Amino acid sequence: LPLMLRKKLFRTILYTAFTIVLVFLLSGPLFMNYIFRVSLDDLRVSGGLVLIIMAIKNLLFSTKIATKDFSSYQD
């Protein structure tokens, strides 16, 4: 692509992304509290549960990773 077209495309993408982030930043609490009835504490608890489940899954069902033999190295 020509340089001018790439700059214009980059600027358009940047403005669009900024607008989307701004809209969600301003309207996010409205949607979460009044439409979905979900509080920040609910999200924290659910996020913690997801992390615990992922950690337990990794501990119980992880595949063994091949390790190098470091016995030949000297201290």
Residue 74 DSSP SS3: coil
Torsion-angle region of residue 44: left (phi > 0), alpha (psi -120 to 50) or beta? alpha
What is the rounded radius of gyration, in angstroms, for the C-alpha atoms of the chain?
24
* Half-sphere exposure for 49 (CA within 13 Å, toward CB): 6
pLDDT tens string 20-32: 999 999 998 888 8
Stated pTM of the model: 0.53
Query: Can you give the residue ranges of every domain in the chain?
Result: 3-61
Q: Cβ(34)–Cβ(27) under 8 Å?
A: no
Instruction: Say if residue 65's pLDDT is above 80.
Output: no
Instruction: Say if residue 64's pLDDT is above 80.
Output: no
